[in-house]
Amino acid sequence: MINAYGDGLNILIIDDDEVDYHVTSRKLKQAFREDEASVAWIQDAKSIDYITQFSDFDICLIDQNLGAITGVDIIRDMHRSGCMVPMILLTGSMQGEFDQSITECGAVDFLLKDEITPTLLNRSIRFAVSQKKNEKKLVEMAYSDGLTGIANRKKFDEFMEANLCSSGRNHLSVGMLLIDLDDFKQVNDTYGHPAGDMLLQQVASRLKETVRETDLVARLGGDEFGIALTMMQDERDINIVLKKLNDAMAPPFQLGEHTLFCSASIGAVTHPLNQPASFQEMFRRADISLYGAKFKGKNTAQIYRGKTGKDNDLPKRLPSRIQNALANDEFQVFYQPKINTEDQSVCGAEALVRWFPKNAAPIMPNDFIPAAELSGDIVAIGGWVLDAVCAQIRDWKDGFNLSIPVAVNMSPIQIGREETIDLIQETLLKYRLSPDMLEIEITETASLLNSDLFARQLMKIHEIGCRITVDDFGIGYSSLLRFLDLPVSSLKIDQSFIAQINQSQKADAICKSIITLARNLNIPVTAEGVETSSQLAAIEDLECQYAQGFFIKEPVSAEHFMRWYANYRTSLSPHSSAYLN
């Protein structure tokens, strides 16, 4: 570990060549008075724990040629992790392509070793330091949360992405915690918003004090915080942090004259090096765990176990549990809105089933639907979902005078059964619903779309008057032209394409051609899995008619959906195409 010293400029040189270091150091001594600058040297670039060591310095001069690693690599890594120390690259030679990579990696300047003079060094360093100072001020504003002063969502996302990129290289894992305050709304309602703001500020500073300097605490919005944990050895590290956070939240908070306790629910996920996951996937996992923690009764943490965790044999135990689950009322339908991209109005919702087993963590559909399809229990689950959804549509109609069409996902196994047609008809009748309030989503699979039985069944559903949507389009085997023979009224582009939109030319081209071809066939398209404003803007540019995704709203319970919808409509008023009767 090297330390910066002195009151003047603390300059760090990274150069594996001792002679070169001495030459640069000598020129620095000529460039600055003794009290103006001090110099430290790192020879072995591989051994540097960059983030901690760089932060002590005002400027860093890095040699390009460092053996296994290049100066450009280090600068790029540091730049991506948000390091604000200006970095100047020292090179022995200059080649065309190399030139480009320097400007892109985030170096403030580059100097040819042979051309370095004390005057040039002095000017370049002073310029770099003052330029970085201004930049730092602007960045701090763009990357911090106005209320708490800690990092904001943008900073969190970029920090996580950068750390995921470098975790493979430094053989250390990365962890993510999503923290949601329990009953925060009650604090706001009971003590007022200024007290709520004070609570958020105090929580922010407690969280910050609990983790290491190399970790990042951010406010992601409302009462939700995120912590990015860097340089983790294994899952034990996350347990240590969770224990510390629990201790940190335990003492009461003093909000003016009020003293109150506030607990938090935490979803945690690690990024094992042998199972890399994207940032979005980690976020999704952490979110699932947070959800599980809330479900377990708040004031608790849950670590994501995934498919390889200790619950590996869950699918084997599922069938017998599923049968009990229906009897014990453990399923619930969540609703996710779908909006019209032209005027942002809500034009419907998708029903997504959730399983909340008693005394156990919630199970997501991807983790039990395949098992239920194998065991045949999907038919009972599907029937239950259909009934629950139709009852809900009726409730919304009776209670709020609202007609919100809902799409139900239906397994091919269920579609293939003759009885399903009667079931749909009977359920619509039972709740006195017109068939256009119910949409059926089928997944695009070869067997489904190419078999005559399915074609006949789909035709019968169509004759009842329900719309049919092909889900997850683009990853299966079917061709859009097949739709000409099927009564399909719309399709949903698979979310894997939307996730890559603006990032992969291939994904852009696929989305564009699906939307264009569908438009020519008069089939409206929904983009699902829209997670960012830029994804929404991109699909709007492509004139994709409908959008659905976390950016608009995640799937939520029926009550939550109605609360969200009421606010959303007010903010959007006067249009809303979920028609009022």
Q: Please, which residue, 474 or 555, has the CB nearer to ligand C2E? A: 555
Residue 180 interacting partner from Mg ion, ligand C2E, none (CB closer than 5 to 8 Å by kind): none
Answer yes or no whether residue 564 interacts with ligand C2E by CB under 6 A.
Answer: no
Answer yes or no whether residue 284 interacts with ligand C2E by CB under 6 A.
Answer: yes
Whole-number Å distance between alpha carbons of 411 and 491: 16
The minimum distance between CB 359 and ligand C2E, in angstroms, equals 22
At residue 350, the 3 state secondary structure works out as: strand
Q: Please, which residue, 77 or 441, has the CB nearer to ligand C2E? A: 441
Give me the 421-460 binding string for Mg ion, x by CB under 5 A, dash otherwise: --------------------x-------------------
The minimum distance between CB 553 and ligand C2E, in angstroms, equals 9
Contact 351, 385 (CB under 8 A): yes
Pairing assessment for the beta strands 525-528 and 216-221 based on DSSP bridges: unpaired
The stretch among 99-107, 213-221, 482-490, 549-557 that binds ligand C2E (CB under 6 A) is 549-557
Whole-number Å distance between alpha carbons of 90 and 80: 20
CA dihedral 272, 273, 275, 280 (to 10 degrees): 70
Give me the 497-536 binding string for ligand C2E, x by CB under 6 A, dash otherwise: -------------------------------xxxx-----
Q: How would DSSP label each residue in 376-407? A: TTHHHHHHHHHHHHHHHHHHHHHHH-B---EE
Answer yes or no whether residue 444 interacts with ligand C2E by CB under 6 A.
Answer: no
For residue 86, give every residue at least 6 positions away whose Cβ sits within 8 Å of its Cβ, in sequence order, or none.
58, 59, 60, 108, 128, 129, 131, 132
Token reading at 418: 């003759």
Q: How would DSSP label each residue in 515-573? A: HHHHHHTT--EEEE---SHHHHHHHHHTT--EEESTTT---B-HHHHHHHHHHHHHHHT
Q: Which of 364, 380, 391, 517 binds ligand C2E (CB under 6 A)?
A: 364
Residue 411 interacting partner from ligand C2E, Mg ion, none (CB closer than 5 to 8 Å by kind): ligand C2E
Reference 423, options 371, 368, 365, 464; nearest CA is 464
Answer yes or no whether residue 472 interacts with Mg ion by CB under 5 A.
Answer: yes
Residue 455 interacting partner from ligand C2E, Mg ion, none (CB closer than 5 to 8 Å by kind): none
Q: Which of 369, 449, 501, 510 binds ligand C2E (CB under 6 A)?
A: 369
Q: Please, which residue, 56 or 281, has the CB nearer to Mg ion? A: 281
Q: Which residues bind ligand C2E (CB under 6 A)?
A: 284, 336, 352-353, 364-366, 369, 382, 385, 409-411, 441, 443, 471-472, 495, 528-531, 549-550, 555
Q: Which residues bind Mg ion (CB under 5 A)?
A: 409, 441, 471-472
